[in-house]
Amino acid sequence: EEVIAECGDADPEAVDRAGALAKKAFDDGRWSRKSPGERSAALLKLASLMEGKAADLALLESQNAGKPMKLAADGDIPFAIDHLRFFAGAARHLEGTASAEYVTGYSSIIRREPLGVAGLIAPWNYPLMMSVWKAAPALAAGNTVVLKPSELTPLTTLEFGRLALEAGIPQGVLNVLTGAAQTGRAITEHPDVALISFTGDTNTGRAIMGQSAPTLKRCHLELGGKAPFIVFEDANLEAAVAGAAVAAFVNSGQDCTAATRV
């Protein structure tokens, strides 16, 4: 129960500054108008930088989240790096629909374009992994990002932001803000934010839908669940018991898909 770090609590003015930076970075095309290959190369470089610091990131994740070191070092950090590489590849395969006839006498094409500024709010149970899960696809598609980690576990996400700059992702493209509910609300209500991605509890998700509605933001919400663990009559009971224990208590039981009933 020792203090290991202190971080700022971003107020609405700080969120406004971050939103303006992200909007400017999107509008001037320093990221959104880069070729898919250029965005892919930057994300791959970021993944390599993270891989070079994987041991440090795992230790920091374990210290900040109270996460078992084995889970951080063997699971969360490698998975986050792999996810980043996956979306670096996906950046080069943003498929639309080639010329087609929908109305007589006209030819149409469908192309996929970035929305603009994505507001991303990550939880505390998989801090870096969830931040990467949200940021990697948004960046791969050419969006700019305002990313808020949980106020309880911000340290590895701050490192992620620093490494993004080192990888050559332009200033203003990935903005990491630390803070609690006030910060999150300022992001979800911000007029320049086009999309909100949130992972957390259901009541907060309901509030975010309401806060996003006046500006018609797109919302991607991953909320709470109640996961059953079902054991069939012909199951190997010894294996089922072991599986149920892992399903309920992996990551110290802090998991949105944790088995909560058998």
Which are the catalytic amino acids?
222, 256
Residue 190, φ and ψ in degrees, nearest 5 = -65, 130
- CB-side exposure of 116: number of CA atoms within 13 Å? 15
Number of other residues whose CB lies within 10 A of the CB of residue 97: 11
Listing DSSP states for 88-127 in one string gives HHHGGG---EEEE-SSTT--EEE-----SEEEEE--SSSH
The answer to whether residues 39 and 183 touch, using CB atoms and an 8 Å cutoff, is no
Q: Are 219 and 225 contacting, i.e. CB atoms less than 8 angstroms apart? A: no
Backbone angles phi and psi of 147, in degrees to 5 = -115, 125
- Number of Cα atoms under 13 Å in the Cβ half of residue 102: 6
Distance CA 206, CA 182 (A): 16
